[in-house]
Amino acid sequence: MDRSWMHADRKSYKYKLGVGLFCQFALDNAKDQNHICCPCTNCGNVEYFSTSVIKDHLFVNEIDPSYEKWIEHGEVDVESAGSERADCEVELDSDVRLEGDEDEEISEECNEFRQFVEDANKPLYLGCDRHAKMNVLVRLYNLKVKHGMTDAAYSDWLIAFSEYLPTRNEIPTSVYEAKMVLSALGMDYRKIHAYPNDCILYRKQYADEIRCPRCGISRWKVCKNKKEMEGVPAKVLWYFPPIPRFKKMFQSVETSKNFTWHAIERNKDGFICHPADSKSWKLVDEKWPDFGSF
């Protein structure tokens, strides 16, 4: 499918036609027709709506021009699919090798996390020895959240900032690219629509409801003129799944040992003792070793 419409003027016939074709493509590949991620510059594929709402978003906010491969909407990544078998063979071989290699710092079963480690240490631009790509990106994203910057404004800010750096720098050119990089850090989150008075969360059996089954109040935000803004939730819960964070924490073999030290290695004699990992108590143990023996 021709993607040139993504860079056209949103008021042009070419862009309108492209939006229609995209929505039809997303609808044909959707598992749930009312739960499709929106690729507009404001949602960045982290919000889910029906195609009718997504179409309005694409006309108002425009589509993220960097979203060239529609993998979030059913498009197959040919390169990934072609190398899947080879990756599996490498992964199996790596698992066997890791069983006898205690010095391996990061488990090779998570290529995404390994890529994150490499990106974290990558210089911001060639010759830069003060700032790494990930450090700068995290700091810029913190400023975005702190000052309530919209995704569209953040994308423009990244582009402007990149222009003042040397060519071939590592600054992403859109909020979508930035979120893809940060997701490897385990900072991914989910937005769950909620009832304003916290009666329910619109998930599981209530995922498709448009009114609270207890109070009957609308799921959508209501304007001053009492008109409902379809697609705009009245309240949103930001949920940070803990499992991906645990997986990232335990990717390091050395870190995993430290996490389990208290349960496995620490002396369990039934007596109360001081915190063994406290810096202050370590200092006491070094200066007055007899004190800790009581």
pLDDT at residue 91 tops 60: no
Instruction: Report the pLDDT value the prediction gives residue 274, as an integer from 0 to 100.
Output: 62
CA distance 154 to 144: 7
Cα angle for residues 178, 180, 184 (degrees, 5° grid):
115
CA dist 263 and 267 (Å) reads: 9
pLDDT at position 70 over 70: yes
Higher pLDDT, 57 or 229: 57
pLDDT at 221 over 60: yes
3-class secondary structure for 172-211? CCCHHHHHHHHHCCCCCCEEEEECCCCCCECCHHHCCCCE
- φ/ψ of 84, rounded to 5, equals -60, -45
> What was the pLDDT predicted at 272?
66
Average pLDDT over residues 189-201: 82
Q: CA 3: distance to chain centroid? A: 25
**Contacting residues for 216 by C-beta, under 8 A, at least 6 apart:** none
Contacts of 57 (CB under 8 A, 6+ apart): 38, 40, 42, 43, 49, 231
The rounded distance, in Å, linking the Cα atoms of 107 and 99 is: 10
Q: Which of 66-70, 87-91, 278-282 has the lowest mean pLDDT?
A: 87-91
If you average pLDDT over residues 220-246, what whole number do you get?
81
Q: What is the largest distance, in Å, between two alpha-carbon atoms of the chain? A: 83
Is pLDDT of 56 > 80? yes
Q: How far apart, in whole angstroms, are the C-alpha atoms of residue 158 and residue 176?
A: 11
Does the pLDDT at position 169 exceed 80? yes
Res 179: pLDDT: 76
Name the amino acid, one letter, at 253: V
pLDDT tops 50 at residue 86: no
Q: Strand, coil or helix: what is 106? A: strand
The least confident of 53-57, 111-115, 142-146, 248-252 is 111-115
Angle subtended at Cα 221 by Cα 219 and Cα 223, rounded to the nearest 5 degrees: 145
Q: What is the pLDDT of residue 130?
A: 83
Higher per-residue confidence, 161 vs 13: 161
- CB within 8 Å of 289: residues ≥ 6 apart: none
Token representation of residue 113: 């996390």
DSSP tag of 166: P
Residue holding tokens 């480690």? 117
* Distance separating alpha carbons of residues 42 and 62, to the nearest angstrom: 9
> Which of 78-82, 153-157, 212-216, 223-227 is the least confident region?
78-82
Question: Quick check: 183 pLDDT over 60?
Answer: yes
Across all residues in the chain, what is the average pLDDT?
Answer: 76
Instruction: Using the predicted structure, report yes or no on whether residue 163 has a pLDDT greater than 50.
Output: yes
Please check the confidence at residue 214 and state whether its pLDDT lies above 50: yes
The answer on pLDDT for 87 being more than 50 is: no
Measure the CA–CA gap between 88 and 280, rounded to whole angstroms. 47
- Residue 112, pLDDT score: 58
Most confident of 77-81, 167-171, 252-256: 167-171
- DSSP alpha helix (H) spans, the chain: 13-28, 51-61, 78-82, 84-99, 111-121, 133-146, 151-163, 175-183, 242-249, 253-264, 279-287
- pLDDT-based confidence at 195, cuts 50/70/90? confident
Are the beta carbons of 101 and 95 closer than 8 angstroms? no
- Give the pair of three-digit tokens for residue 14: 């070419």
Q: Look at 23 and 115; give whichever has higher pLDDT.
A: 23
The pLDDT value given to residue 209: 82
Range from 17-31, 45-59, 93-107 carrying the lowest mean pLDDT: 93-107
Q: Does residue 255 surpass a pLDDT of 80?
A: no
Token pair listed for 254: 């050395």
